[in-house]
Amino acid sequence: MAQTLYFMRHGETDWNAEARLQGQQDIALNEVGRKQAAEAGRRLAEILPAPDGLPWLVSPLGRTRETAELARKAIGLPPQRYATDDRLKELTFGDWEGRTWAELRSVDRNMVKARTADKWAYVPPRGESYAMLHDRIALWLKTVTQDMVIVSHGGVARVLMVLLAGKPNSEAAEEPIWQGKLLVFRNKTAEWV
């Protein structure tokens, strides 16, 4: 794939601030997250002369849609002019969603240890692993035929680092994924701007 993807992670939510696992729960942006979304839009306009010339593809969760709309509004684009794709949803943490790591350690320290030992392949109860998300995103990538702006989630960014930039799974699983910045995938690299 020779296309360039301009990746934007959704802005902060209260659950992000509390270190709660969101997964596919539909948690709204908080005030910090709204500012981060606008900032990401402005960053995009700085590096991409015509951001309205590319399609915008967004996870259907509320926090990503709001991020896309605020980013577009910040640079003078019609807020709702984007498409959604279910394949860009965050991985699901299943039974762990809504809990913090401290809460999970108090419930079942062994499961948390198992995930820490192999963060990429571990599947939470009724959840998804990064490896499973990798398969979903790899199928989606086969449909990408042009440069585009993507608004999605941290797990999706990690998987794209593996698929598009060749980062080892274990490194991608630990990589910080910033809110309010852009991650540009181009020529087998991933660069934060």
Supply 122's token pair.
């571990």
Q: CA angle, corner 47, sides to 45 and 48, nearest 5? A: 65
Environment class of residue 178 by beta-carbon count within 10 Å: exposed (0-12), middle (13-18) or buried (19+)?
A: middle
CB-CB contact of 88 with 10 (8 Å) = no
Q: Which two tokens stand for residue 191?
A: 């660069």
Give the whole-angstrom CA distance, residue 155 versus residue 51: 24
CB count within 10 Å of CB 27 equals: 20
State the catalytic residues: 10, 90
